[in-house]
Amino acid sequence: MSFFTRLTDRCLSVDSLLCIGLDPHVELLRQATAEEARDFCCRLIEATADQACAFKPNSAFFEVFGAEGWTALREVIAAVPEGIPVILDAKRGDIASTAQAYSRAVFETLGADAVTLSPYLGSDSLEPFLADPERGVFLLCKTSNPSADDLQALNIEGIEPLYLRLARLASGWNTADNLGLVVGATDPITLAQVRRVVPDMWLLAPGVGAQGGNLEGVCRAGLRQDGLGMVIPVSRGIAQAEAPRAEAIRLKERINSICESMDREAAPVLSSSMAALADALLEAGCVRFGEFKLKSGAKSPIYIDLRLLASKPNLLTHAASAYLPILQGLHYDRLAALPYAALPIATAISLQTGRPMVYPRKEIKDYGTGYAVEGGYERGEKVVLIDDLVTTGGSKFEGIERLEAAGLEVHDVVVLIDREGGAAQELAEAGYRLHAVYTLSQLIEHWVGVGKVSPQQADEVKRFMGIRD
């Protein structure tokens, strides 16, 4: 039985994704001794064992006591009841015989079921830890410390940040269902990005509580579609509570309540990462409900302003990454952004993919170069047209006309939101394919399902837009 099969069985048997962190900080102890660190952890184990999907002792707080601390750590692991996985937070990382020795120390000497590892030395540094399918590894992918981006967010080959490249590699290394990833809970957008790249892998998401991670945001960003796939560790939030057991019960029930609300959502059409982006767009004011006067004089119950993305870099990056699965299935040489809202979006896509960008001008200058299309390109190249949203095909045809007049080929148009105003049919009749990350009805159904938009507001928008159920 693989490690994650065992973990899944445990989560289902106690209906819990809560992992109890065992971090005996010296300031929490009655006295600074290895014996007190052991007793502190054993009290937590006894109080919370029936609520925990796993326990996660941090080796550093035991190693500080020397040989006595090592003995105390082994005794703490032995105190965890049979059937509850123990994840040793040790962040090991080395190669060859050294890695083998570390593996034996973790799994044989200490008796842990899984361990956290550093990926810096590559796949061969993981092999001794992954050799037994019953033993698990959680590989550091995106951590929550302030300087994590110094390395983890470095752009790889102009395509994607290092942490996403690592996630893809780890998915390929997970041949025995015993490799997962550590992704900090303090950044739900990043967590959602990783989940999108590895839809099936287990994630360990530390940072809820003392570090500021929001429990609902973490669940929505990181859970798989089956409601599993993520272990949520909490340490100080439980250890420092007046009644640790009561706090563990509260957290477990809160997680389950969030999961149940997600299950009740009217239209489970969005993945966890897509749902997180949809909610972020709403919270940022990129989509607003109310009464808005349009240029035509008509009053609309909805207003979409994706130009706001330009001043929200994290959200812009997340939105741009949502285009990538569509773009990966298309054949093109360059991106072509329609001014103005799509310019920052296409730039972010270009930075993530390494694909060059051009854009057709709205107004052609009668001085300077007089170019109708800005940027370097060669005649005959294929471009994919990028825009923020689409209602009808009008503005898209104007951009396409200028691109084709410059000798570029256009076959595909990709937008973030299709307002479902007939653009897909208009473009198709002219020989172009429309691809949208979201349709407006998908977004509305999701927001109604999570209680962010009322059914009455949804009905008003659908009537105004002519969207049929």
* List of residues 6+ apart from 358 with CB closer than 8 A: 334, 335, 336, 337, 373, 374, 375, 376, 377, 383, 403, 408
Q: Which helix (H) or strand (E) holds 13?
A: helix 3-14
Strands 114-117 and 136-142: parallel
Using left for φ > 0, alpha for ψ between -120 and 50, and beta otherwise, residue 361 falls in beta
Question: What is the residue type of 202?
Answer: W
Whether the pLDDT of residue 267 is over 50: the answer is: no
Contact 153, 163 (CB under 8 A): yes
Structure tokens at 449: 């399902």
- For position 366, what pLDDT does the model report? 55
Q: Is 256 exposed, middle or buried (0-12, 13-18, 19+ CB in 10 A)?
A: middle
Question: What is the rounded distance in angstroms from the CA atom of residue 242 to the CA atom of residue 247?
Answer: 8
Dump pLDDT digits (tens) for 275-292: 999 999 999 999 999 999
User: What 3-state class would DSSP assign to 244?
Assistant: helix
Sign of the four-CA dihedral 163, 169, 172, 175:
negative
**Which one, of 132, 137, 131, 271, lies nearest residue 204 by Cα?**
137
Lowest mean per-residue pLDDT among 20-24, 258-262, 267-271: 267-271
- Residue identified by tokens 């490690």 is 3
Angle at 130 between CA 190 and CA 51, to 5 degrees: 65
- In this structure, are residues 186 and 142 in contact, taking their beta carbons and an 8 Å threshold? no
* HSE-up (13 A, CA, CB side) for residue 383: 33
Could you read off the pLDDT of 373-431 as tens digits, one per residue? 999 999 999 999 999 999 887 779 999 999 999 999 999 999 999 998 888 888 888 88
Residue with token string 């303090």? 186
Bridge partners (DSSP) listed for residue 359 = 374
Token pair of 182 as six digits: 């550590």
Q: For residue 430, how many other CB atoms are within 10 A of its CB?
A: 11
Supply the DSSP symbol for 266.
S
Q: Are 157 and 354 in contact (CB under 8 A)?
A: yes
C-alpha span between 166 and 162 (Å, rounded): 6
How far, in Å, are 90, 128, 174, 229 from residue 133 at the CA level? Answer: 19, 11, 10, 17
- State how beta strands 299-304 and 287-293 pair: antiparallel
Please write the tens of the pLDDT for every residue from 434-455.
Answer: 999 999 999 998 998 888 988 8
Number of H helices, E strands in the chain: 19, 18
Residue 51 scores a pLDDT above 90: yes
Closest CA to 184 of 146, 228, 239, 151: 146
Please compute, for residue 207, the number of CA atoms within 13 A of its CA located in the half-sphere on the CB side: 23
The CA dihedral of 371, 373, 378, 381, to the nearest 10 degrees, is: -160
Residue 53, both tokens: 């999907």
Of 439, 54, 398, whose CA–CA distance to 231 is shortest? Answer: 54
Question: Which H or E run contains 45?
Answer: helix 34-48
pLDDT of residue 354: 92
Q: Return the biggest CA–CA distance within the chain.
A: 82
Lowest mean pLDDT among 224-233, 260-269, 327-336, 375-384: 260-269
Catalytic residues: 91
DSSP character at residue 211: T
What would the pLDDT profile of 84-121 be if each residue is shown by its tens digit? 999 999 999 999 999 999 999 999 999 999 999 999 99
Tokens found for residue 86: 């123990």
pTM of the complete model: 0.61
Set out the domains of the chain in order of their start, with CATH numbers.
3-263 (3.20.20.70), 273-465 (3.40.50.2020)
**Alpha-carbon distance 19 to 237, whole Å?**
12
Task: In whole angstroms, give the CA distance from residue 201 to residue 228.
Answer: 10
Interatomic CA distance for residues 15 and 48, integer angstroms: 14
